[in-house]
């Protein structure tokens, strides 16, 4: 492809060198390295995720053939350990924020679904002694809020594997969206809090939650509906129960299992509530895709900085690829490609001509929008 249109250089089209320099200054980091400065290291990490390079030695061996500056693997390892991963996370937050806003602006959306969940990556306990998990394993966890409309993460919180999902879920809530979550994110206090603060939500109930003072809601029976019940009630026991009445929708999933969710929304049908919860599986597909295609299970280092820098760089690769595929699909001239198909053809420079033309226009628009000059 043309100069500055490879996966290695794409991040610089969405965040300027001045912005990166500002982030480094904020963290008091002096980027004095000549061969392996922060943008170069980031390019290596993004490329390693996209092309699934198996080690830093592998990356150093093949990167120059891909157009990257030649850097020894020992230098990459040293820089990865000393670079505060929070800087890479800040770069990710800026890029993903811009891409999510761009997609929402073009889709003219009002209030979309925001799925929250977590995924855990495990290795032998001797590799990450600071992240002991269960038995002979160590684990790190990514807690993610995922916008279904853009198919991209909105916010990511990194923890060790033993951190419970529930408390982190509070950090991922966003009143601009309808929060959709599994039962790990439910609590009596949280249901009342969300209802009081105006956070719309659909959360699966734990099986042992007691329901009292039920009052059925009037609804028209729909042919083929999987909804079994729709009512309001008080959640919990007298010792610990909700102050407010909440709506409960019971329905069966595709395998015939009964699913029970709680929500504070009254102006939508029970079938729509069931559909919202079903769409939560989009985040599960996202987790599966990044684990299978972005080299995440292969860790290049053992320190917190090395591990989390690699993970956030992999997420940068994902959101860039997903954004470009989504934007091109909006163009009439571009034949539809699956995400896997687009990624493969993009990385190996085999995209059809019409896709290349549209990608160039999209990139030029983004540069102008954020006033980014890459020289």
Q: Are 200 and 111 in contact (CB under 8 A)?
A: yes
What pLDDT was estimated at residue 240? 94
Residue 355 to residue 15: CA distance in whole angstroms: 23
Q: How far is CA 236 from CA 31, 188, 229, 233, 239, in A?
A: 55, 7, 19, 10, 8
Residues 6+ apart with CB under 8 A from 344: 350
Segment holding 165, helix H or strand E? helix 165-172
What pLDDT was estimated at residue 1? 36
Query: In DSSP terms, which residues pair with 139 in a beta bridge?
Result: 122
Q: Which of 150, 24, 348, 170 is nearest to 16 (CA)?
A: 24
The phi-psi region of residue 66 (left if phi > 0; otherwise alpha if psi is between -120 and 50; otherwise beta) is alpha
What pLDDT was estimated at residue 3? 40
What pLDDT was estimated at residue 105? 56
Exposed/middle/buried for 30, CB within 10 Å: 0-12, 13-18, 19+? exposed
Residue for token digits 């034949």? 335
Take residue 305 and report the two structure tokens written for it: 């900085």
What pLDDT was estimated at residue 216? 94
For helices 304-329 and 353-369, angle between their N-to-C axes, nearest 10 degrees: 110
- The pairing of beta strand 178-181 with beta strand 152-160: unpaired
pLDDT tens-digit profile, the chain (375 residues): 334 457 887 888 899 989 999 999 999 999 988 889 999 999 999 999 999 999 999 999 998 888 888 999 999 999 999 999 999 999 999 999 998 887 665 544 468 999 999 999 999 999 999 999 999 999 999 999 999 889 999 999 999 999 999 999 999 999 999 999 999 999 999 999 999 999 999 999 998 999 999 999 988 778 889 999 999 999 999 999 999 999 999 999 989 999 999 999 999 999 999 999 999 999 999 999 999 999 888 899 999 999 999 999 999 999 999 999 999 998 888 889 999 999 999 999 899 999 999 999 999 988 888 888 765
Q: What angle do CA 365, 317, 138 make, to 5 degrees?
A: 155
Residue 88 to residue 45: CA distance in whole angstroms: 10
CB 237: neighbour CB atoms within 10 A?
11
Backbone dihedral angles phi then psi of residue 113, each to the nearest 5 degrees = -80, 140
What pLDDT was estimated at residue 2? 37
Residues 6+ apart with CB under 8 A from 25: none
The phi-psi region of residue 162 (left if phi > 0; otherwise alpha if psi is between -120 and 50; otherwise beta) is alpha
Q: Are 96 and 152 in contact (CB under 8 A)?
A: yes
What pLDDT was estimated at residue 4? 41
274 SS3 class: helix
Take residue 66 and report the two structure tokens written for it: 């891909």
Q: Which long-range contacts (CB under 8 A, 24 or more apart) does 261-268 make?
A: 261/202, 261/203, 261/204, 261/205, 262/186, 262/191, 262/201, 262/202, 262/203, 262/205, 262/235, 263/200, 263/201, 263/202, 263/203, 264/191, 264/194, 264/195, 264/199, 264/200, 264/201, 265/178, 265/200, 265/202
Helices (H), 186-280: 188-197, 270-278
């Amino acid at each position: 492809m043309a100069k500055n249109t490879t996966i290695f250089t794409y991040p610089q089209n969405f965040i300027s060198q001045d912005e990166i320099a500002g982030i480094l200054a904020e963290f008091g980091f002096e980027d004095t390295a000549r061969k392996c400065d922060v943008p170069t290291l980031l390019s290596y990490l993004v490329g390693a995720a996209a092309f699934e390079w198996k080690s830093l030695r592998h990356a150093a061996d093949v990167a120059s053939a891909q157009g990257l500056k030649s850097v020894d693997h020992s230098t990459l390892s040293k820089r990865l350990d000393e670079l505060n991963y929070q800087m890479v996370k800040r770069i990710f937050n800026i890029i993903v924020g811009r891409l999510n806003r761009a997609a929402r602006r073009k889709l003219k959306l009002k209030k979309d679904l925001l799925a929250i969940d977590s995924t855990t990556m495990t290795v032998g306990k001797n590799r990450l002694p600071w992240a002991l998990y269960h038995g002979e394993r160590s684990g790190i966890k990514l807690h993610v809020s995922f916008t279904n409309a853009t198919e991209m993460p909105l916010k990511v919180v990194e923890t060790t594997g033993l951190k419970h999902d529930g408390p982190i879920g509070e950090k991922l809530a966003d009143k601009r969206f309808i929060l959709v979550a599994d039962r790990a994110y439910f609590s009596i206090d949280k249901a009342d809090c969300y209802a009081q603060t105006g956070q719309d939500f659909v959360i699966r109930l734990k099986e042992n939650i007691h329901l009292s003072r039920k009052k059925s809601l009037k609804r028209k029976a729909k042919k083929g509906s999987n909804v079994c019940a729709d009512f309001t009630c008080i959640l919990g026991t007298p010792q610990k129960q909700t102050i407010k009445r909440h709506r409960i929708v019971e329905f069966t999933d595709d395998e015939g299992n009964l699913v029970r969710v709680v929500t504070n929304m009254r102006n939508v049908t029970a079938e729509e509530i069931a559909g919202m919860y079903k769409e939560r599986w989009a985040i599960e597909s996202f987790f599966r895709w990044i684990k299978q295609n972005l080299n995440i299970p292969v860790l290049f280092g053992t320190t917190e900085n090395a591990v989390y820098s690699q993970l956030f760089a992999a997420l940068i690769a994902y959101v860039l690829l997903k954004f470009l595929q989504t934007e091109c699909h909006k163009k009439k001239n571009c034949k539809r490609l699956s995400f896997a198909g687009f990624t493969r053809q993009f990385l190996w420079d085999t995209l059809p001509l019409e896709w290349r033309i549209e990608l160039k226009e999209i990139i030029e628009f983004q540069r102008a929008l954020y006033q980014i000059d890459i020289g």
